[in-house]
Structure 1
Amino acid sequence: MSTDGIKVYKFGGASVKSAEAFRNAARIVKTHGGERQLLLVVSAMGKTTNALEQAMDLAYRQQDFEPEYQRIKAYHEEVLAELFPAPDNPARQRVAQLFEVLHSTLQHTSPHASYDMAYDQAVSYGELISSALLHHFLQDQGLANAWVDSREYIKTDSTWREARLDWPLTERLIKRDLPPLLRQQLVVTQGFLGGTGEGLTTTLGREGSDFSAAIFAYCLDAAEMCIWKDVEGLLNADPKHFPDTVCYPEISFQETVEMAYYGASVIHPKTIKPLANKQIPLYVKSFLNPEGRGTKICDCRFDKIAPAYIIKENQCLISFSVKDFTFVSEKNLGTIFKALADLRIKMNLMQNSAISFSICADFHQERLQRLIQTLSDQFIIHYNTGLTLYTVKNYDAASLARVMDGKEVLLEQRTRNTCQIVTR
C-alpha cells in the first residue's frame, strides 16, 4: 500500500459496532494510516441502519416508534459509556444532541410526505452519530482530526434513497476545502449521505458508504482507497453459503465491476468506476487481521481466475406476454423498460423468446403491484416470488453442478464467461 499522497479509508458498520471495534479502528489508523493525509469514511454502527429503518417506518405510519428509538439510543450509550467514562465528556454531549434531533425528526415525520424523503432525513443519523463518536475517540487517542459533514460536499439531486451525484459541484467543493485540512490532520466524515442544494439530506443507496469513499478518493486524486471488512479480502463467494472460499490476492477493475453488478456484497456497484477512471488502486483488507495481504483491485489482467459465486435471494421472476399472442416487439420492450425505470425496478437478468419477455428482479411487493397495474392492459403478466438467483462468473462444469445440484431451475442463461440460474 502507498505511503505517499492522500489515502481514503472506509470503515463499515461491523468495524465500528462496539467499543472494542472503535479501539481496533483507532489502532489501524495509527499503525497503517498515519496522522495526516488520511480521510476516514464511516458507516453507521453495527445494524443501526436496519433499526433506524424500522423506527422511521413506524413513525411514518403514525405508530409508536419510541421502543425502537430507545433501543437504538441505549446501544449507542453503552458504547459511549465504555469509551468515554466521564459523563461530561464532549462526545457524550454531542451524541445526546444528535439523538435529540433524531427524535424530533421521527416525531415530525408525516404520512403525507414522500416516504423515501422521510427515510433519508431520519436514517441518515446512523452515520452522523457514528462519525461523531469516532471523531471524539480519535481525539482522545491523540489523533488530531476534523469532523466534516459529507452533506456539505457530496451534492446530489433529490432522488431520495438513490440520489444522483452532481459531480462537478462535488469535486469543486472537495478540492477547495479538504486538501488543506488533510495536510494538517485526519478528516472524519460519513458514508452513505449527500445533500441537496436546498439543504435536505439524501442517501446514495444501501451500502452506499463504499461509493462515498470512492467519490472522495476521486475528487482528492487519492493515492489509494482501502475498505476495512470482516473478511480477508475480496472472496469468490459468501462464506455463509460456501465454506471453501478463495481470497483473490489481486483482481481487475473490470472483473470487480461485473461481480458488483451481479450482486457481490463486498463492493458497492458504483464504487469501482470513479477509481478506475483515475487508476486509484482499491484495497480490501480485514480489520480482524490488518497485517494480512487482503485484495488489491487495480488495472491488471489474468488468463484464468477462480470461479466467483454470487447469490441474490428474495427474487421475483416476472414474465410478460403480448395479449394477442403476437411477437414481443422492440416497441413492447420499450414500454416494459420505461415502466421498470419509472418504478426503479432493476433487472438482475432478462431473457426473451418469440412471444414472452422475462426478467428476474429483487422482490418489492409495492413496486411489483404498481408494475402490474401499469402494464396489465397491454400484457399478460405472470410472476413467481421467493426465488434465488445464482450468478457464476468464470464458470466451469464443476462450478455449475455445484449450484444446480438438487434445485429446480426455472431459468438459465449463459454467456462465454458468466452463467445465471434462477432456482426455486
Structure 2
Amino acid sequence: MTQPLVYKFGGASIKDAKAIQRIAQLLKNNWVNNLVIVVSAAGKTTDRLEELIALSFEGKYFDGPLFELLDFHLDLCKGLFEDDHPIFIRVENHFAHLRRSLENSAIKENQDFFYDQIIGYGELISTRIFQEYLCLKGCPCLWQDARELVSTDSHAKIARVDWALTMQHCRKILIPKLETFPVVTQGFIGKDLQGNTTTLGREGSDFTAAIMGVSLGASSVTIWKDVAGILNGDPDLFPDAVKFEYLDFEEAAEMTYYGASVIHPKTIKPLSKHGIPLHVKSFFNPTTAGTVIGAFGQAPRIPITIIKKKLTLIELKIRDLSMLGGFHFDYIYDVADKINAEIQFIQGAAAHINIIINPLSMEDDQIIKAFQDIFQVKVTRNLKLVTVKNPSLSEIEHYRRFDNELLLEQRSPDLIQWLFED
C-alpha cells in the first residue's frame, strides 16, 4: 500500500448541512483509498456537552439543553438525508447512550473522569453523520472508533499517548481497511488500559491527526481550516497580517507553545521527529496553497504576534527564607501537573516566582492550597499575554504605550512577552 494521507476537519468545517456538503465535495475531488479522515464534533457541540456535564455533575436539570443538542443534530441530518435514512435512528441511539451516561452516578465520583466519559459523544455522533453522508454521495468509506486506535494512560482530560500500543493498533486495524476504503475516525478521544474513554486535551483533534500520521507513516498530514494558512498575527487584530508559505517545524512549535491557536500545541513534535510535513489549508479555497510546515531550516525573521486572553497569574513568594534562591521549579511543575494547569510563562527571582497558566476551572482557594506548602500565593485572573517573536521596533513601541496596564515583562533577543490587565 502507498503511504496514507491524513486529513483533519474541525467543528467549523461541519457546523451545518451546507458546510458538510462543501467538505464532501472537497473530499470527492481528492478521493483515494489510503485516506484517513479525522473529524471533530460539529459546530459548538463540545461547548454544549461541557454545559451538560456541569449540570449533571451538580445534580441539576439537563433535559432542556440535551434535547436542544439532539435537535441540532437531527436538523443537521434533515439537511443531508431523506426522512427514512437509518442515520436518524443512529443519532437518537447515541443520545440515548449519552443520557444514560449523564445519569450514571457510578462515574461521577471524579469530575474530570466524568468529563472524559461524556465529552467524546460529539465526535462519535459527528463522524457517524459524516461517514454516512460521504457514502451517500458516492464516496464509500468506513467508520472507525478512535478509542480502538489511540491507547493512553488514565490522566483525565489530558491523557498521555502510549505510542508503542497506538502504533500497533493503527497498523493492525487501519492498514487492511485502507487498502480498500478510506476511513473516517474521531479526533480528541482515546482509551486507557482499563477500557475507559480518555481525552487528549481541548482542541486535541489536530494531535489525533498527527498520531495517525506518525503511526501509519503517512506522506503528509493536512489540517483544513477556515483560514488560508498560518498568518503572523490574528487578521481581526492585524489587517496587514502576512501568510507564511512555509514554516520550519521549530518556528511553528514555538508559535503553538506561546498560544497560536491555528494548530494544537502537541501536533508539531511527533511530525517533526518523523519528518512528516504538515499542511494548513482553507476548506473554502481548497485549490489554493496554504502553509507547509516541515524541515526547512531557518525561516525568514518575520515578526509574529500571538495574543492569549483569560489567563491566570499565580504569584508565589517563598515562606521560609532559608529556602531562598532554590526556585523550586520541579515542585511548581509537579503541582501544575497535578491540577492540570498548563504553564504559559514563568519568571523567577530570589524570593518570588510568577507563573501564568491557561484558564483553570478550580477556585482561587483551591489553587492557593495546591502551592501553599512552600509559598504564599496570590491569584489574579482574566489577564492577557502578548508574545512577539522576532520583534521589530514598531511592535515594541506599540505595546510600550500600554505601560499603565502592564503587569510583567520578559524578553530575550528574539522574543518579548508582556502581561496586561485585560
User: By the TM > 0.5 criterion, same fold?
Assistant: yes
Of 136-145 and 335-344, deviating more is: 335-344
1:17 corresponds in structure 2 to: 15
* TM-score, scaled relative to structure 1: 0.94
- Offset of residue 132 of structure 1: 0.4
Alignment of 1:4-83 (within 5 A): 5-31=3-29, 33-83=30-80
1:116 maps onto 2:104 in alignment: no
1:101 partner amino acid: H
In 2, the alpha carbon distance for the partners of 1:58 and 1:365 equals 15
In 2, the alpha carbon distance for the partners of 1:148 and 1:238 equals 35
Structure 2: 5+ residue runs without aligned partners? none
- Offset of residue 357 of structure 1: 1.2
- Determine which of 342, 354, 357 is the counterpart of 2:353: 357
2:219 partner amino acid: A
In 1, the alpha carbon distance for the partners of 2:63 and 2:256 equals 37
- Offset of residue 362 of structure 1: 2.1
In 2, the alpha carbon distance for the partners of 1:91 and 1:175 equals 29
2:411 corresponds in structure 1 to: 414
SS of residue in 1 equivalent to 2:362: helix
In 1, the alpha carbon distance for the partners of 2:118 and 2:365 equals 27
In 2, the alpha carbon distance for the partners of 1:267 and 1:354 equals 36
In 2, the alpha carbon distance for the partners of 1:331 and 1:269 equals 26
CA 1:177–1:101: 2 relative to 1, 3 Å: same
1:386 corresponds in structure 2 to: 382
1:125 maps onto 2:121 in alignment: yes
- Offset of residue 244 of structure 1: 2.3
CA contact (8 A) 1:60 1:111 kept: no
Give a deviation string over 1:349-386, Cα, whole Å, max 9, x none: 11112221111112425264223123335322223222
Alignment of 1:95-244 (within 5 A): 95-109=91-105, 112-244=108-240
In 2, the alpha carbon distance for the partners of 1:102 and 1:412 equals 46
In 2, the alpha carbon distance for the partners of 1:89 and 1:314 equals 44
**What is the root-mean-square deviation in Å for CA atoms of aligned residues?**
1.7
CA contact (8 A) 1:327 1:354 kept: no
Give the share of equivalent positions with the same residue, in percent: 38
- Offset of residue 326 of structure 1: 5.5
SS of residue in 2 equivalent to 1:171: helix
CA contact (8 A) 2:206 2:264 kept: yes
* TM-score, scaled relative to structure 2: 0.95
1:276 maps onto 2:272 in alignment: yes
How many correspondences in the alignment? 419
2:309 corresponds in structure 1 to: 313
In 1, the alpha carbon distance for the partners of 2:230 and 2:115 equals 31
Alignment of 1:295-374 (within 5 A): 295-302=291-298, 304-325=300-321, 328-330=324-326, 332-364=328-360, 366=362, 368-374=364-370
CA contact (8 A) 1:343 1:367 kept: no
1:152 partner amino acid: E
CA 1:371–1:47: 2 relative to 1, 3 Å: same
Give a deviation string over 1:325-351, Cα, whole Å, max 9, x none: 566332644433332232222221111
CA 1:112–1:214: 2 relative to 1, 3 Å: closer
SS of residue in 2 equivalent to 1:83: coil
- Offset of residue 112 of structure 1: 4.6
CA contact (8 A) 1:262 1:310 kept: yes
In 1, the alpha carbon distance for the partners of 2:418 and 2:316 equals 19
Give a deviation string over 1:286-306, Cα, whole Å, max 9, x none: 011111111001100345332
CA contact (8 A) 1:328 1:357 kept: no
In 1, the alpha carbon distance for the partners of 2:329 and 2:79 equals 58
SS of residue in 2 equivalent to 1:366: coil
SS of residue in 2 equivalent to 1:217: helix
SS of residue in 1 equivalent to 2:79: helix
Structure 1 outlier segments of 4+, above 6 Å: none
